[in-house]
Amino acid sequence: MKKLLLSFLLTQCMLVSAQTETLVTPNGKKVKVNITPQWELNGNTNNELKKLGTKDAFDLPVITNDTEKMRITTDGQVLINTDKSLNGGNNAKLQINNGTTNGALQIVDGTQGEGRILTSDANGVATWVAPIAAASFMAPPGVQMDLVYDHFTYSGRSLTLGKGSWIIYLTDRTGNWTPSTANEFNYGELVAGWSSSSTVFTPSSIFANAGHSCVSTQIIPQNKFLNFNYVFVVNVTKPVDTIYLWYQILGNVTTNIPFIYNGNGDSFSTAYGSLIAQKLY
């Protein structure tokens, strides 16, 4: 009888909940034993929501091989391979300390792939996406495009950009500038404009404060070449957006027809004109 009672008491020491019942031992002592179901090693059938954890201000550590491997803190942080919050991560709800070994985090959801970047949508749902390579255009050699005074002309060049912020570098060489008067204050303006259409000049909405165009002004030497350089920063909000480059000329230029010059097909031709976009973030 004593062995049976001792076995019963030892079993009840494993119980988690606080419901008890008073039993009387053979020697007349009254003892309280836990009679509520316990968390079993191979799992429970609870039939209702149950909780596992602490009821006071103490963290909940989890150990394997007698070593702590994970901890849920009273602040709601989940710490893996560390028993305290890492430096600079006091607000992070998940922290992993893998020492100096890389590859501490692995997410496999079907969108993963070599060189992909983890990004999120507006709701914070993360997926792996391929990085957007810098879109670029190099002006082909041996091509000239006549410019029109005070009127935009499509250059035949365009950029297709993915969502994000981009910086665009544009350079072109122009020729056949002839000033209207013979004085040192003659100037020429090459206006680069970005359109959402290749057939009609419609200022693109991705440029801030209607800054769809950029003017580069230079003093005109008689019948000389002029190099024009531009830098644009744009923010693309659509998944993909295509913009088309248009040009017009302004200034006191009333004779001859300036043109975009891209060389005569020699080895230096492509250096005269380029259109390059690089993603910032």
Does residue 227 have a pLDDT over 60? yes
Domain boundaries, the chain: 1-7+15-40, 60-129, 136-279
Span 219-246, average pLDDT: 77
pLDDT, tens digit, 9 for 90 and up, residues 76-95:
999 999 999 898 888 899 99
Q: Which residue has the tokens 């799992």?
A: 43
Distance CA 249, CA 253 (A): 8
Q: Which CATH number fits domain 136-279: 3.40.50, 2.40.50, 3.30.420, 2.60.120?
A: 2.60.120
Residue 280, CA distances (Å) to 88, 117, 141, 161, 163 in order: 25, 14, 29, 12, 11
State the pLDDT at residue 58.
Answer: 94
- pLDDT band at residue 269 under the 50/70/90 scheme: very low
What confidence tier does 48 reach under pLDDT thresholds 50, 70, 90? confident
- Reported in sequence order, the residue ranges of the chain that DSSP labels E, i.e. its strands, are 20-24, 30-34, 60-64, 67-72, 78-80, 94-96, 117-120, 126-129, 136-138, 144-146, 153-175, 187-195, 213-219, 226-251, 259-261, 274-279
Half-sphere exposure of 208 (CA within 13 A, CB side): 6
Query: 3-state class of 62 per DSSP?
Result: strand
Q: Quick one: pLDDT band at residue 72, thresholds 50, 70, 90?
A: very high
pTM: 0.51
Mean of per-residue pLDDT scores for the chain: 76
Residue 268 has pLDDT above 50, yes or no: no
Three-state SS string across 120-168, please?
Answer: ECCCCCEEEECCCCCCEEECCCCCEEECCECCCEEEEEEEEEEEEEEEE
What is the number of other CB atoms lying within 10 angstroms of the CB of residue 163?
Answer: 16
Check whether 153 has a pLDDT greater than 90.
no
Predicted pLDDT at 272: 59
pLDDT of 208 strictly over 90: no
Residue spans of alpha helices (H) in the chain: 2-12
| pLDDT at residue 172 greater than cutoff 50 | yes
The pLDDT tens digits for 2-20 are: 444 444 444 444 434 456 6
Q: What is the mean pLDDT of the segment spanning 198-223?
A: 70
> Is the pLDDT score of 118 beyond 50?
yes
Q: Radius of gyration over alpha carbons of the chain, in Å?
A: 37
Of the pLDDT bands very low, low, confident and very high (cuts 50, 70, 90), residue 73 is very high
Better pLDDT: 75 or 261: 75
| pLDDT at residue number 17 | 44
> What is the rounded distance in angstroms from the CA atom of residue 180 to the CA atom of residue 156?
29
Q: Which residue has the higher pLDDT, 238 or 209?
A: 238
